[in-house]
Structure 1
């Protein structure tokens, strides 16, 4: 009997509990929100991370911009450490928030250390480990149940993304957004179970030679993360693009055997579905992950409904992740690869 995925599978499956714990933890860290996210002195909030942490930083920054109306960006940690002047204009009052599951990634530590004593620069972080190097260097939000044994990030990423979004909603003093996130949190357990049952037969019955992930807005980071997930777990050929940008050249790679997974927003739904239909005409198997199926999605080969169609696209972000993570997991098993132990990778990347 195979033991492949003995850590990854239960960690994906436990993300609803991790979201609940992150939500509760925010009650203990309101001072962090007031000191950093809600503080009007900062001209720019910069979320930094490496790999999956950078991709969730993109979602965090998009959410911050939309919900607070203030300037925010996301950068790889190494850009702030090695190319700071190109990334951030001089003279701004900047808050840098390091994003790191372990709090031990060399690049994020070096980046935070390089700016923490500079005038007009303030550092903070979000992690799953309260005793980490980053947590000792900078005051951090902590996702209590985000800790993982497996190499690839799953419930850690879901819980940290959700926790930061909940903190942003509180910083914006927007009870409606907080209510949306509470609803998402309560839906997540059902979405996790449904995603598991939905994704496995698609992988078992399919024979895909490449995977393409498409998303826009806050879902750009999610698409990049989904692409990385399946690459880490199963070593397949994959790309991620902005949905409409994919039509400008990259679509040339689409043919029979291509799985195109589209993270459907409500804001750009009609445009995104036109792209999906076009890819199907080129021979792709089209998988839609959407708040709600309808006549406009009937063309697709597979449609996974996550619900919460009446909440904002940003608040719905973490509901897309279970299906994307299970897609990587079951593809690895289908290829007889252990997702717990990806080749060439370690849980913490150090230089």
Structure 2
């Protein structure tokens, strides 16, 4: 009787709000256009690329807060991989408040602020502080050309990334694409631009597949916790997946480096755990060993991979995003739609509106 009552309450909550009625759902579905527009626009930003990426300095420092910090992690990973030069990612507050512990002031640098709105207080203050350091330049990535950050520092702008919902979805994927395109252009290697163009072409199809898979998982199962695992450029994406679920549905979730999860955190894996692994091609064999071990502990395993095969057959669900011959860095935004839809559908299942998460606003002001 108790179980039946819970099911009836759950059905009632779902009836009160359908995912399709939310802005978040709509904006996830719009990211193919946002990503393509960001890609095309960044290709036309040759002067910005020359000054701030190709001739930026001895180091690059990507800063952001919340989701913007997580995309900064991916941007820095791509910068290191494609340019072979030092880059770090930091929370804006670290560069602002504990700069000497966080970055080397004696090395020339470009500090890239990352902010959807361009109005985040911590990012603005950190950029202003960076401008006082001799040999440092500032630039940014945003969705608003008329924002305070764009007035403070020259920015790449993802015009189609603008959102009305509180949580970041298409803004994040499009801003990552803009930064990746600038880095690829600065590398002088045509293969990276070609890889990104192929990635852009797959976004729409991946969004559709991710929507169907996420809906099926959320409707058919309930978990007491979800863990997101990723490495390299995909670690920031895994952290973003964790944040999306936490923001929208108010459930507890965590993210870890894939192999790091084995060093203690795996103690929490059980039959109430969903583990989402963002599978790279570079470390595929070792990451699958981690996923298989967690399956043995009873966890429900979801893999997001370039391709499925005999080595992924043990998983409960596999989302194939395609492009196995493309670098993990270029393919990284294709892992986002499933994470975004998973948070959206979970929120609605719990009777929550993902457009208006508890305690949150679009812009955090100090």
Fold-level match, TM-score > 0.5?
yes
> 1:25 maps to what in 2?
41
2:5 aligned with 1:15:
no
> 1:250 maps to what in 2?
265
2:80 paired residue among 65, 79, 87 = 65
SS at structure 2 position matched to 1:33: helix
2:127 aligned with 1:112:
yes
Mapped to 1, the partners of 2:44 and 2:75 lie a distance apart of 21
SS at structure 2 position matched to 1:145: helix
Contact 1:25/1:144 (<8 A) preserved: no
2:202 aligned with 1:187:
yes
Task: Using the TM superposition, give the Cα deviation of residue 118 of structure 1 relative to its aligned residue in structure 2, in angstroms.
Answer: 2.5
> 1:102 maps to what in 2?
117
Task: Using the TM superposition, give the Cα deviation of residue 91 of structure 1 relative to its aligned residue in structure 2, in angstroms.
Answer: 1.2
> 1:320 maps to what in 2?
335
Task: Using the TM superposition, give the Cα deviation of residue 117 of structure 1 relative to its aligned residue in structure 2, in angstroms.
Answer: 3.1
> 1:141 maps to what in 2?
156
> 1:34 maps to what in 2?
50
SS at structure 1 position matched to 2:100: helix
Aligned residue runs from structure 1 range 1-351, under 5 A: 2=17, 6-39=22-55, 42-351=57-366
User: How many residues are matched?
Assistant: 350
TM-score w.r.t. length of structure 2? 0.94
Mapped to 1, the partners of 2:73 and 2:163 lie a distance apart of 22
SS at structure 1 position matched to 2:160: coil
Contact 2:227/2:276 (<8 A) preserved: yes
Task: Using the TM superposition, give the Cα deviation of residue 155 of structure 1 relative to its aligned residue in structure 2, in angstroms.
Answer: 0.2
- Please tell me the root mean square deviation across aligned C-alpha atoms, in Å: 1.0
> Structure 1, residues 165-220: CA drift from partner, whole Å, max 9, x if none?
11100010110010000000001111111111111011100011100000011111
> Structure 1, residues 52-107: CA drift from partner, whole Å, max 9, x if none?
00000000000000000111000000000001111112311011000000000010
Mapped to 1, the partners of 2:69 and 2:17 lie a distance apart of 33
With 109-118 and 290-299 compared, the bigger mean Cα shift is at: 109-118
SS at structure 2 position matched to 1:74: strand
SS at structure 2 position matched to 1:185: helix
Mapped to 2, the partners of 1:42 and 1:179 lie a distance apart of 26
Mapped to 1, the partners of 2:255 and 2:40 lie a distance apart of 33
Regions of 4+ moved over 6 Å: none
Contact 1:226/1:325 (<8 A) preserved: yes
SS at structure 2 position matched to 1:228: helix
Mapped to 2, the partners of 1:3 and 1:326 lie a distance apart of 13
TM-score w.r.t. length of structure 1? 0.98
Contact 1:233/1:338 (<8 A) preserved: yes
Contact 1:48/1:98 (<8 A) preserved: yes
Contact 2:43/2:185 (<8 A) preserved: no
With 21-30 and 209-218 compared, the bigger mean Cα shift is at: 21-30
SS at structure 2 position matched to 1:314: helix
Mapped to 1, the partners of 2:365 and 2:144 lie a distance apart of 17
Structure 2: 5+ residue stretches without partners: 1-15
Taking a change above 3 Å as real, the CA distance of residues 84 and 184 of structure 1, as seen in their structure-2 partners, is same
Contact 2:207/2:337 (<8 A) preserved: yes
Task: Using the TM superposition, give the Cα deviation of residue 28 of structure 1 relative to its aligned residue in structure 2, in angstroms.
Answer: 3.3
Structure 1: 5+ residue stretches without partners: none
Question: Larger helix proportion, structure 1 or 2?
Answer: 2
Task: Using the TM superposition, give the Cα deviation of residue 308 of structure 1 relative to its aligned residue in structure 2, in angstroms.
Answer: 0.6
